[in-house]
Amino acid sequence: MPDRDSLAEQVLRDHVDVARKVASGGYKWTPQAPEVIPAFVAEHDLGPLPAMQEALRHAVDMGGFGYHLGAEALGEAFAGWWSRRHGWEADPALVVPNASVLQGVWACVEAFTSPGDAVVLPTPVYFPFHDIAPTTGRRIADWPLVRDADGWHHDLDALEHLLADDPGIRMLLLCHPHNPTGKVLTEPELTRIVELAAEHDVVIASDEIHADFTYPGGAHVPTATIPGAAPITVTLTSGIKTFAIGGLKASVAAFADERLHARFLEVPANLLGGQNRLGNLAAVVGWTHGDAWVDELVALFDRHRHHLVDRLAAELPDVRVHLPESTFLAWLDLSAHEPGDRPDRWLRDRTNVLCKDGNLFGSGGAGHVRLTFGTSTAMLDEILDRITTGLSGR
Ligand SMILES: Cc1ncc(COP(=O)(O)O)c(C=O)c1O
């Protein structure tokens, strides 16, 4: 059993204990050969929040595994966190607990669309979203982000045309902030998106799981707070990215409108699922006591994003990357190196750093990999040393 103090100090010490990570048996650190550094999973290495671990330990010691009534505490904790950190005064009564954000996405597809309808995806985008079409009989309408010298952008004129040309579009799945590019939608951009969605009778499912990692210079604006958004917006989010607790399965679908909330609840309760006791407890503790710890973590990853972009610009300028405005993910364009159709393997074979294959993210992903910089500074430097050494001198 790891000792508590060293876990509690990980963020402040900016340290990752690899042996402990491997021993803990998580997906990120176990399946690879020992010489490979895993940077492929969107999970940071500095969790969990010490107070969360303490509360979980207490629950385990008490054998507190029975049925529970955690929904009320969760709604309050969610509303408190989103008010303090993102300025949204959410109604706790309209917060639906579920197991995962992806479950919430599929529930929205079920609740707000019919077979044959289309769902808009801002591509390249978090790869599991691409499973919507093959698993639900819905169509996908691609809304490609565009890139210029400043970075990635949502093309609002293209969205306008897409919605006008396909009357079967019933849902827009926003990834806000955007995985993998780290792009943050601004208030004017969100306002236009909401206008277009309302005009075309489209529900916005706004996946805001990365919201807590929005860096100085930007601000996360919850879609639901945009005027006109409430009747058409579902916010899907959780603390699993913030606190690195993906295995605990605890997320929410939050509403700002009773009618949309009621339509969502028409999905049978047993398909909507719920939270397990420990995940629910962890979410409540994180959203109640996590502020100072998350401030430290965000400051650390803010330094990391600059460090990564600066080092690559100086040492490997033909790997194109834009400063992410949010997330602990960097979207690396390796095209100049001609990495073939598996850029993740190509990179791993040269560097022993494993990233996520950009092709999985859909259009715009070829030649790219997604790298997780949510780790210690020393580990990030080791990753960057390996990449710069492995790819230079061709
Ligand atoms: C944008 C986005 N949504 C959802 C998830 C997954 O959330 P969950 O495990 O709660 O389904 C991730 C995880 O990487 C993500 O990046």
- 275 Cβ below 6 A of ligand 1: no
**Residue 141, pLDDT above cutoff 50:** yes
**Residue 8, pLDDT above cutoff 80:** no
- 126 Cβ below 6 A of ligand 1: yes
Could you report the per-residue pLDDT of 75-86, keeping only the tens digit for each? 999 999 999 999
CA of 209 to the centre of ligand 1 (A): 7
CA of 101 to the centre of ligand 1 (A): 6
Same domain, 275 and 362: no
pLDDT at residue 5, as a whole number: 46
pLDDT at residue 363, as a whole number: 95
* 40 vs 72 pLDDT, higher one: 40
Worst-scoring range by mean pLDDT, 66-70, 231-235, 274-278?
Answer: 66-70
Mean pLDDT of 327-351: 98
> Does 101 fall in a domain?
yes
- pLDDT band, very low/low/confident/very high, at 179 (cuts 50, 70, 90): very high
Q: Which of 236, 265, 289 is the last residue of a domain?
A: 289
Smallest Cα–Cα separation from 104: which of 249, 218, 302? 249
Mean pLDDT of 291-317: 97
pLDDT at residue 228, as a whole number: 98
Identify the domain containing residue 341 by its residue range. Answer: 4-49+291-391
> Does 65 fall in a domain?
no
With a pLDDT cut of 90, the percent of the chain lying above it is 89
**Residue 377, pLDDT above cutoff 70:** yes
> Does 58 fall in a domain?
no
- 253 Cβ below 6 A of ligand 1: no
Atom number of ligand 1 nearest to Cα 175: 1
- pLDDT band, very low/low/confident/very high, at 13 (cuts 50, 70, 90): confident
> Does 55 fall in a domain?
no
Could you report the per-residue pLDDT of 242-297, keeping only the tens digit for each? 999 999 999 999 999 999 999 999 999 989 888 999 999 999 999 999 999 999 99
Domain count, the chain: 2
- pLDDT band, very low/low/confident/very high, at 12 (cuts 50, 70, 90): low
CA of 390 to the centre of ligand 1 (A): 31
Q: Which amino acid is at 388?
A: T
Task: Report which protein residue has its CA nearest ligand 1's atom 4.
Answer: 101
> Does 66 fall in a domain?
no
Atom number of ligand 1 nearest to Cα 251: 10
> Average per-residue pLDDT in the chain?
95
Number of Cβ within 10 Å of residue 393's Cβ equals: 6
> Does 64 fall in a domain?
no
Q: Which of 289, 324, 356 is the last residue of a domain?
A: 289
Same domain, 35 and 82: no
Worst-scoring range by mean pLDDT, 18-22, 34-38, 118-122?
Answer: 18-22
CA of 114 to the centre of ligand 1 (A): 24
Which residues have CB under 8 Å from 272's CB, separation 6+? 96, 98, 103, 107, 265
- 175 Cβ below 6 A of ligand 1: yes
- 99 Cβ below 6 A of ligand 1: no
We report the CATH number of the domain holding residue 275 as: 3.40.640.10
- 329 Cβ below 6 A of ligand 1: no
- 100 Cβ below 6 A of ligand 1: yes
pLDDT at residue 10, as a whole number: 61
